[in-house]
């Protein structure tokens, strides 16, 4: 919770600072720039969404590796609880101690040690993670465990499906990389053009900064600039 609050404040600060800089570029007035900067707080949601997307992808990758470890332990005859507990040592070899998946499975180990039901642990974690593949795994695991199903096969199948889906996501990311760079270039280009014109032709930009029509044009330009970012991001964002 503390990390999330810290991250929220950082995102707020970055959003406000970014909008202040844009305000200075578009209006060349500190007071107007500060007013524009106050809207930067609304960028927190966008930055948080980007962060969560990356964090979810990393957690899915780590959870897939954890399932392979659990499956291997089940294959040599360990009970399902001991298989989940044994996964901690395997994950510590692959990932650093502070990584999310190591912390998660250490918590699994602690809860299993106090005889908490593994089904409840997995369902609770799937709710916290809010990742479709993990939620589906937890639900299928509960059904298979209660009906005496082949847990090894269930876990292997889930890991395989996660791998296939992540490979598809990676391919889509590669395909859209060029478009993402084009969007980033476009977002940098307009402020750079304004700064360039300000440097080589101050009289031209004075008209834009000191007349009612010029300010209206710059305000419209800033609005379109922000709209292009959101529309462009929506176009290149493909859900799997």
Tens digit of each residue's pLDDT (9 = 90 or more) over 88-124: 998 999 998 788 999 999 999 999 989 889 889 999 9
Give me the domain span that covers residue 92.
Answer: 50-163
Which of 162, 168, 109, 114 has its CA nearest to residue 138?
162
Average pLDDT over residues 168-195: 82
- Separation of alpha carbons 107 and 121, rounded Å: 9
The total domain count for the chain is: 2
Residues 14 and 96 in one domain: no
Domain-located, residue 117: yes
Domain-located, residue 139: yes
pLDDT of residue 103: 92
**Whole-structure pTM over 0.75, yes or no?**
no
pLDDT of 3 above 80: no
Task: Output the CA–CA distances (angstroms, integers) from residue 25 to 29, 54, 67, 194, 227, in the order listed.
Answer: 9, 31, 51, 7, 17
Summarize pLDDT for 36-55 with one digit per residue, the tens. Answer: 888 888 777 778 888 888 88
Residue 124 parent element (H or E): helix 118-129
């Amino acid at each position: 919770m503390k990390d999330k609050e810290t991250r929220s404040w950082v995102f707020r600060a970055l959003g406000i600072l970014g909008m202040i800089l844009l305000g200075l570029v578009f209006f060349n007035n500190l007071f107007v720039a500060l007013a524009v900067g106050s809207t930067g707080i609304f960028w927190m949601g966008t930055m948080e969404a980007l962060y969560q997307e990356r964090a979810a992808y990393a957690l899915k990758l780590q959870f897939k590796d954890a399932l392979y470890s659990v499956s291997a332990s089940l294959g040599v005859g360990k009970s399902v609880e001991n298989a989940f507990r044994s996964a901690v040592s395997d994950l510590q070899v692959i990932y650093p101690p502070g990584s999310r998946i190591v912390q998660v499975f250490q918590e699994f180990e602690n809860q299993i040690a106090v005889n908490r039901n593994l089904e409840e642990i997995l369902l609770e974690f799937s709710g916290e993670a809010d990742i479709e593949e993990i939620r589906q795994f937890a639900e299928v695991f509960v059904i298979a465990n209660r009906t005496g199903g082949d847990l090894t096969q269930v876990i292997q199948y889930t890991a395989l499906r996660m791998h296939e889906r992540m490979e598809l996501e990676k391919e889509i990311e590669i395909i859209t990389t060029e478009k993402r760079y084009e969007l980033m270039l476009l977002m940098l280009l307009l402020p750079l053009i304004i700064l360039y014109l300000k440097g080589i032709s101050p009289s031209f930009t004075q008209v834009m900064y000191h007349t009612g029509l010029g300010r209206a044009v710059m305000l419209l330009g800033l609005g379109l600039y922000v709209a292009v970012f959101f529309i462009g991001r929506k176009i290149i964002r493909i859900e799997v």
